């Protein structure tokens, strides 16, 4: 590299060089990148173990440049608990979708959070089951059309969408919980800060940390990528407000 050129953007070491399987416009890839940048910035890649979910990000281990475990659907927090308890010196994170975490794996995430397990969860909320082709998730919005609620989600039959971060914030155990979005450059910068903070708390051995990331699923929402980010702003953000839900430094959320 000559003295005049300076690299200002490159693939983080935390990511492998490979072709993505995510759909065009899907924000899973953006979230992967943010996590990988944090590995680099905190210099933790070589002692990090990820736990992949069942969902579109089941192949996360093909992208991240660190050791990985592949969990059964919803059980990533249980695997992370077992691993971290035996290797508290390592950095452990789960990467989970909303079906994985808020439906089949609800018990595992609630109890891991309540025990204050010292790992980090990246919770990707796209209000749908992406991988299986667009079925209703616990986070699907009222009236939202999916293949298993073709007339729109009827909350009188299926309940209101679950706000996971707020629910976890009711637990008395200290935790770091923040909801972010990756729909715009400004939000991406904020999301990165939150993800870094979450890992930082883990590095310090402080608490359980979870970052809920509002994410798009253009394919199963039946929208273009641009329409999807707009739909996320118009529909998801009002119901899933962005911001800090709980900080380990204060018992109450805000």
Partner 1 sequence: MAKVLMKGNEAIAEAAIRAGANNYFCYPITPQTEVAEYLAKRMPEVGGVFLQAESEVAVGNIVFGAASTGKRVFTTSSSPGISLMQEAISYMAGAQLPCVILNIMRGGPGLGGILPAQSDYFQATKGGGHGDYRLLVLAPSTIQEAVDLTMLACHLADKYRNPVMIIGDGMIGQMMEPVEFPENYTEPELPTKDTWAATGAKGRKPRVIKSLFLDPYKLEDNSVVLYNKYQQMKKDEVRFELYKTSTKNKVLIVSYGTMARICQTVIDELEEEGVSVGLFRPITVYPFPEAALEKEATRKNIDTVLTVEMSMGQMVEDVERAIARRRPVEFFGRTGGIVPTPDEVKKQIKELIKKKHGAKTRQSTTKSKKKG
Please report, as ranges, the residues that interact with ligand TPP according to CB under 6 A. Answer: 54-57, 73, 97-100, 124, 126, 128-132, 137
User: Which residue, judged by CB position, is nearest to ligand TPP in the bound state?
Assistant: 97
179 binds, among ligand SF4, ligand TPP, Mg ion, none (CB under 5 to 8 A by kind): none
Which of 125, 218, 229, 245 is close enough to bind ligand SF4 by CB under 6 A?
A: 218
Element spanning 7, H or E:
none
- Applying CB under 6 A, the span of 71-79, 160-168, 203-211, 213-221 interacting with ligand SF4 comes to 213-221
Rounded to a whole number of angstroms, the minimum distance from the CB of residue 79 to partner 1 is: 3
Strand partners, 49: 67, 92
Rounded to a whole number of angstroms, the minimum distance from the CB of residue 97 to ligand TPP is: 2
Max CA distance (Å), the chain: 65
Contact 40, 75 (CB under 8 A): no
Q: Distance between CA atoms of 164 and 156, rounded to whole angstroms? A: 20
Comparison of 76 and 245: residue with beta carbon closer to ligand TPP: 76
46 binds, among ligand TPP, partner 1, ligand SF4, none (CB under 5 to 8 A by kind): partner 1
Neighbours of 251 (CB within 10 A): 10
Contact 198, 211 (CB under 8 A): yes
What x/- string results for residues 23 through 62 when contact with partner 1 is judged by CB under 8 A?
----------------------xxxxx-xx-----x--x-
18: helix, strand or coil? coil
Which of 126, 146, 202, 229 is close enough to bind ligand SF4 by CB under 6 A?
A: 126
Which of 12, 15, 26, 178 is close enough to bind ligand SF4 by CB under 6 A?
A: 26
Element spanning 16, H or E:
none
Rounded to a whole number of angstroms, the minimum distance from the CB of residue 203 to ligand TPP is: 27
Which of 14, 15, 28, 141 is close enough to bind ligand SF4 by CB under 6 A?
A: 28
Instruction: State the Cα torsion 61-213-226-240 to the nearest 10°.
Output: 150
By CB under 5 A, residue 97 contacts Mg ion: yes
Rounded to a whole number of angstroms, the minimum distance from the CB of residue 95 to ligand TPP is: 9
Distance of CA 64 to the CA centre of its chain: 14
11 binds, among partner 1, ligand SF4, Mg ion, none (CB under 5 to 8 A by kind): none
Size of the site for ligand SF4 (CB under 6 A): 12
Nearest Cα to 125, choosing from 158, 101, 150, 149? 101
Residue-wise DSSP of 198-254: HHHHHHTT--EEEEEEE---HHHHT--HHHHHHHIIIIIHHHS--EEEEBTTBSS--
- Applying CB under 6 A, the span of 183-191, 197-205, 218-226, 235-243 interacting with ligand SF4 comes to 218-226
């Amino acid at each position: 590299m000559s003295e005049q050129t300076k690299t200002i953007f490159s693939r983080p070491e935390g990511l492998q060089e490979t072709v993505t399987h995510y759909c065009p416009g899907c924000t899973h890839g953006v979230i992967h990148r943010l996590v990988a940048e944090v590995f680099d910035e905190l210099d933790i890649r070589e002692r990090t173990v990820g736990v992949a979910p069942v969902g579109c990000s089941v192949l996360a281990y093909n992208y991240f440049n660190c050791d990985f475990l592949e969990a059964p659907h919803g059980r990533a927090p249980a695997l992370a608990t077992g691993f971290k308890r035996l290797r508290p010196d390592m950095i452990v994170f789960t990467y989970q979708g909303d079906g994985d975490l808020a439906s089949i794996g609800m018990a595992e995430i609630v109890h891991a959070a309540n025990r204050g397990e010292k790992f980090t969860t990246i919770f990707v909320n796209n209000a749908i089951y992406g991988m299986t082709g667009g079925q209703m998730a616990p986070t699907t919005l009222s009236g939202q059309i999916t293949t298993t609620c073709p007339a729109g989600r009827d909350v009188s039959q299926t309940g209101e969408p679950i706000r996971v971060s707020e629910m976890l914030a009711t637990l008395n155990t200290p935790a770091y919980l923040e909801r972010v979005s990756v729909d715009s450059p400004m939000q991406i910068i904020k999301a990165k800060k939150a993800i870094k903070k979450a890992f930082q708390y883990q590095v310090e051995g402080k608490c359980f940390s979870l970052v809920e990331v509002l994410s798009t699923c253009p394919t199963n929402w039946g929208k273009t990528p641009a329409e999807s980010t707009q739909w996320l702003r118009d529909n998801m953000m009002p119901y899933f407000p962005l911001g800090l839900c709980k900080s380990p430094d204060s018992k109450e959320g805000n």
